[in-house]
Chain A
Amino acid sequence: AQRVTQPEKLLSVFKGAPVELKCNYSYSGSPELFWYVQYSRQRLQLLLRHISRESIKGFTADLNKGETSFHLKKPFAQEEDSAMYYCALRSNDYKLSFGAGTTVTVRA
């Protein structure tokens, strides 16, 4: 069975400071990792996926299979980054499992 762990429930940073959201996973197969984000009063939406190796809204995430991690990083946080962030793992049987989520607050 797969498991996704986000150790930080809450994360508060100042505008312009770096932000890193931790995500660790446990899965015996070849994982597909995602970060989903939910802004206030908006629906859950995809932020990025490991296979794309892209930067979205300044965020990047690298899959580290040795450390079984997929941490989300942004060098300079903006106020509009305040949101709930979920790390998610898709297993080979098509199931998407979410971590508990991290609420990020960016203060001016």
Chain B
Amino acid sequence: DTEVTQTPKHLVMGMTNKKSLKCEQHMGHRAMYWYKQKAKKPPELMFVYSYEKLSINESVPSRFSPECPNSSLLNLHLHALQPEDSALYLCASSQDLGSSREQFFGPGTRLTVL
């Protein structure tokens, strides 16, 4: 399996809801990433995990809570989001954090916050 998968494809949630985004890869990669992409903008890094430990948090608000339960799975827990959080959320993985590593991207979850 050489793909990064993300579920769900689409998610609509209210500002008081709690939901989670899921990302999975079975390529044996030990680095995983969350990006946020607004319409007609480039992806922006949110979090980086390396060997299941959080390495980078790009000053993301606490209403976004990442979790890496094992080397194949990456979750993003959402709570009390704002309408401006509506975006495409991309997951990516790479072999590790070594130099020039290719990042493999998932198809994204399109999130709408009402």
B19-59 vs A: 1/0 string, CB under 8 Å?
00000000000010100000001111100101000011010
Using Cβ atoms and an 8 Å threshold, which residues of chain A touch B99?
Answer: 32, 51, 90
For A52, the chain B residues whose CB sits under 8 A away are: 100
Question: In the bound complex, what is the Cα–Cα distance between A101 and B41 (angstroms)?
Answer: 8
B56 with A94: CB separation less than 8 A: yes
Tell whether B102 is near chain A: CB-to-CB under 8 Å. yes
The CB with the most chain B CB atoms within 10 A, among A43, A49, A98, A101, is that of A43
Cβ-defined contact, B42 with A95, below 8 A: no
Interface size class of chain B, counting residues whose CB lies under 8 Å from the partner chain: 20 to 34
Chain A residues near B102 (CB, 8 Å)? 46, 49
A80 at the interface (CB under 8 A from B): no
Q: Could you say which interface size class chain A belongs to?
A: 20 to 34
**B105 and A96 within 8 A (CB):** no
- Name B100's contact: one of A45, A51, A93, A97 (CB within 8 Å): A51
Chain A 30-56, CB-CB to B under 8 Å as 1, else 0, gives: 001010000000011110010110000
> Is B74 located at the chain interface by the 8 A CB criterion?
no
A43 near B42 with CB under 8 A, answer no
Q: Is the CB of B106 within 8 A of A99?
A: no
Q: Check: A86 CB closer than 8 A to any chain B CB.
A: yes
A106 CB within 8 Å of chain B: no
Given A43-B108, A96-B33, 9 further pairs, Cβ under 8 A: A34-B100, A49-B102, A51-B100, A86-B42, A94-B56, A95-B48, A98-B43, A98-B44, A101-B42
